[in-house]
Amino acid sequence: MIEKDFVTEGLKRTKIDEYLESELERAGYGGMEVQVTPLGTMVVVYAERPGMVIGRGGKTVRGITQNLKTRFELENPQVEVKEVGVPELNPKIMAHKIASMLQRGMHFRRVAYTSLRRIMGAGAQGVEVTISGKIRGARSATAKFSDGYIKKCGEPATRFVKEGFATVQLKPGVLGIYVRIMPPEVTLPDKVDIHPPVMEETVTEVVEETAEIVEVEETAEEPELIESEEELEELEESLDELEEEVEAEEVAESEEVEEEVEVAESEEEVESDAAEEEVEVAESEEVEEEVPEEKSESAEEKEESS
């Protein structure tokens, strides 16, 4: 029957997962996928430390491949190892880390809250950590710690939420650690996106309006260019006129200055001529005064001699 085949296939995958978990616990085992191909069976192993899965010279991975072929009767098994990108978002890895911390003697509350902070810091939408067993005393108890938003029922809980389980042996007894994580990339079906309102205009109307606007802009740009050219010509003419006026004013000023200089020079010449005439007149008068004096002296000398 087909149902029986599904059950046997699921049981085989569970046994392979338990085997790989027990063999690769120190390597940070994070799960596996089985893909059946025409060439054989591809087993993809996710681990935090892929080097420990491969082993020195590929010894460990060859041993795992041989055991998958003999114990689980897989046809031509091929093991592929992939590194886990963000270990904090893998529930199996985090469950084993919590178990190792509890085995070292740390208090369960401290371990749980530390793990919650690390998982939420990695970007998870929600996380839930459940530790059950003899955690407080002789009687069994369950402590549940949660943070963020996480689905607990319905299809999203089984489809989107990842789960991991681990056990640890302590002196009082065995403790079970159950970790559930909702990854950051999950989009829930009940999420509602509110979009901004859209104008009720068809595409054709928008295209026509844009075409009209472009035509109007083109027609409006042409006269502006013409007006700008005319304005430039007017400005050039006004500049030429201003230059001519400035040149005429400079010429008139230079002529006035030359006339003033000529007048001043002529006045100086006239003044100098007048001064020379006055000097000559004064000299002639002095000469005339000296001549009669000499004549009087000579007359007096003649009288004395006589």
Domain residue ranges of the chain, discontinuous segments joined by +: 2-84, 89-182, 195-283
Q: Which CATH number is associated with domain 2-84?
A: 3.30.300.20
DSSP-assigned letters across all residues of 105-156:
T--HHHHHHHHHHHHHHTT-SEEEEEEEESSSSSS-EEEEEEEE----SHHH
**pLDDT at residue 36 in the model:** 86
**pLDDT at residue 112 in the model:** 94
**pLDDT at residue 145 in the model:** 95
Give the residues of the chain that fall short of pLDDT 70: 1, 200-211, 214-229, 285-306
**pLDDT at residue 119 in the model:** 94
**pLDDT at residue 174 in the model:** 93
Residue in the block written with tokens 């607990």: 152
**pLDDT at residue 235 in the model:** 78
Query: Percent helix, strand and coil across the chain, each rounded to 5?
Result: 60, 20, 20
CATH fold for domain 89-182 = Ribosomal protein S3 C-terminal domain (3.30.1140)
Residues of the chain with pLDDT > 90, as a percent, come to: 28
2-84 and 89-182 share one fold: no
Residue in the block written with tokens 């319905």: 154
pTM score, whole prediction: 0.60
Phi-psi region of 123 (alpha: psi -120 to 50; beta: other; left: phi over 0): left
Q: Is 103 helix (H, G, I), strand (E, B) or coil?
A: helix
**pLDDT at residue 243 in the model:** 83
**pLDDT at residue 226 in the model:** 45
